[in-house]
Amino acid sequence: DAMVIQNPRYQVTQFGKPVTLSCSQTLNHNVMYWYQQKSSQAPKLLFHYYDKDFNNEADTPDNFQSRRPNTSFCFLDIRSPGLGDAAMYLCATSRDSGLILGSYNEQFFGPGTRLTVL
């Protein structure tokens, strides 16, 4: 089945130790997103890739970076995790043709990676 896969499902890191979260998709979607969801809060968009174009949200800390080496994979790098970065990180994908303004298809989410910072 076509899907969005996130690895690992649970990640524990130490304060200040860089960590990378992985997302892959078999949907062949051109748009990939990273959201941060803290406990009992709504998901908050960090950034997204439209094809190879990286789009950062204005309030996303510099501590968060992303890479998309190909259509299928997207990585979230946290350079120096702080205690406040402990959260669920959700990857999502969608297909956007760009031909029609506002053309928008469903976003499909992965199962998430729960990050714990010690």
Partner 1 sequence: KQEVTQIPAALSVPEGENLVLNCSFTDSAIYNLQWFRQDPGKGLTSLLLIQSSQREQTSGRLNASLDKSSGRSTLYIAASQPGDSATYLCAVPKGAGNMLTFGGGTRLMVKP
Closest by CA position to 65, among listed 82, 81, 77: 77
Q: How far is the CB of 80 from partner 1 (least distance, A)?
A: 26
CB of 57 to partner 1, least distance (A): 8
Closer to partner 1 by Cβ: residue 43 or 81: 43
* Binding-residue pattern over the window 17 to 56 for partner 1, x denoting contact by CB under 8 A: --------------x-x-------xxxxx--x------x-
Report whether 94 contacts 107 (CB < 8 A): yes
DSSP string, 24-85: EESS--SEEEEEEE-TTS--EEEEEEETTEEEE-TT--TTEEEE-SSSSEEEEEESS--GGG
Q: Residues 74 to 113: which contact partner 1 by CB under 8 A? A: 88, 90, 92, 94, 96, 101-102, 104-112
Decide the pairing of beta strands 31-37 and 10-13: unpaired
**Residues binding partner 1 (CB under 8 A):** 4, 6, 31, 33, 41-45, 48, 55, 57, 88, 90, 92, 94, 96, 101-102, 104-112, 114
